[in-house]
């Protein structure tokens, strides 16, 4: 994952996959929820990305697909990071129900290869990783509000209860480290 040339490299980051689901008004939120993940038997590097759909069941109202983010969708995201993916629904009027989002990142001691960077591409702290979403209007990535749980063993960041996660059936998500200016001082030492 080299700076600059990343968009043209023939590296598979996310193997496309899709599920068919519909919102269920009578299903308790504690039951098994539909889960969308990249194909697990593919060649993609990122297999732990996950969208969980509480209150939904497997059915044919909506086809929801996860795929590798395209070059234009990566604009404003750190060039070296591969911790990014896109979700697309068909039809595009996906309900505003809350979902749980998990994004995988790959840390590395090589500063040119790690996903543990800020939106500006500066090295960050793994403990400060947070989920971001590309703003459909501005094209800039913004931190999702809520509690972000960083799993430094499995190298994932999870945020639950994200509402309105798609804009007109589309959303690009990733994870980056929060800038040190926003990190509590005690975490820097």
| Whether the predicted pLDDT of 9 surpasses 90 | no
Residue 119 φ then ψ, to 5°: -60, -25
pTM over 0.95: no
Query: Is the separation of the CB atoms in 55 and 24 below 8 Å?
Result: yes
pLDDT for 179 equals 86
Cα 145 versus chain centre, distance: 14
Query: Is the separation of the CB atoms in 88 and 68 below 8 Å?
Result: no
pLDDT for 1 equals 41
Can you read off the two tokens belonging to residue 32?
């098994």
b/e per residue, 49-66, with b = 16+ CB within 10 A?
A: bbbbbbbbbeeeebebeb
pLDDT for 2 equals 39
pLDDT for 11 equals 84
CA angle 21, 25, 28 (to 5 degrees): 90
| Whether the predicted pLDDT of 29 surpasses 90 | no
Cα 94 versus chain centre, distance: 18
Place of tokens 């999870």: 158
Share of the chain above pLDDT 90, in %: 78
Contacts 24+ apart (CB under 8 A), 110-114: 112/2, 112/3, 112/80, 113/1, 113/80, 114/80
28 band by pLDDT with thresholds 50, 70 and 90: low
For 170, counting Cβ atoms within 10 Å of its Cβ (0-12 exposed, 13-18 middle, 19+ buried), the class is: middle
Which domains can be identified in the chain, with CATH numbers? Answer: 5-188 (2.60.220)
What is the rounded distance in angstroms from the CA atom of residue 139 to the CA atom of residue 136?
6
Best CA proximity match to 66, nearest among 106, 38, 32, 31:
38
User: What is the tens place of the pLDDT at every residue in 105-153?
Assistant: 999 988 889 999 999 999 999 999 999 999 999 999 999 999 999 999 9
Average pLDDT over residues 25-32: 64
Q: What is the DSSP letter of 139?
A: -
User: What is the tens place of the pLDDT at every residue in 71-114?
Assistant: 999 999 999 999 999 999 999 999 988 999 999 999 998 888 99
For residues 25 and 79, the model is more confident at 79
| Whether the predicted pLDDT of 180 surpasses 80 | no
What is the rounded distance in angstroms from the CA atom of residue 58 to the CA atom of residue 92?
17
Residue ranges of E strands in 109-184: 129-134, 141-143, 148-151, 156-162, 170-177
């Amino acid at each position: 994952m080299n700076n600059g040339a990343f968009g043209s490299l023939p590296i598979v980051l996310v193997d496309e996959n899709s599920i068919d689901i519909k919102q269920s008004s009578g299903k308790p939120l504690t039951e098994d929820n539909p889960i969308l993940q990249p194909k697990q038997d593919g060649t993609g590097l990122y297999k732990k990305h996950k969208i969980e759909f509480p209150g939904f069941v497997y059915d044919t109202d909506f086809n929801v697909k996860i795929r590798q983010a395209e070059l234009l969708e990566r604009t404003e995201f750190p060039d070296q990071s591969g911790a990014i993916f896109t979700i697309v629904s068909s039809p595009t009027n996906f309900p505003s129900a809350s979902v749980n989002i998990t994004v995988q990142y790959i840390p590395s001691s090589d500063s040119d290869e790690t996903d543990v960077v800020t939106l500006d591409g500066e090295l960050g702290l793994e403990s400060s990783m947070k989920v971001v979403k590309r703003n459909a209007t501005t094209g800039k990535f913004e931190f999702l509000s809520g509690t972000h749980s960083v799993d430094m063993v499995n190298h994932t960041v999870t945020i639950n209860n994200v509402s309105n996660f798609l804009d007109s059936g589309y959303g690009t998500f990733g994870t980056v480290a929060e800038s040190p200016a926003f990190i509590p001082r005690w975490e820097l030492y």
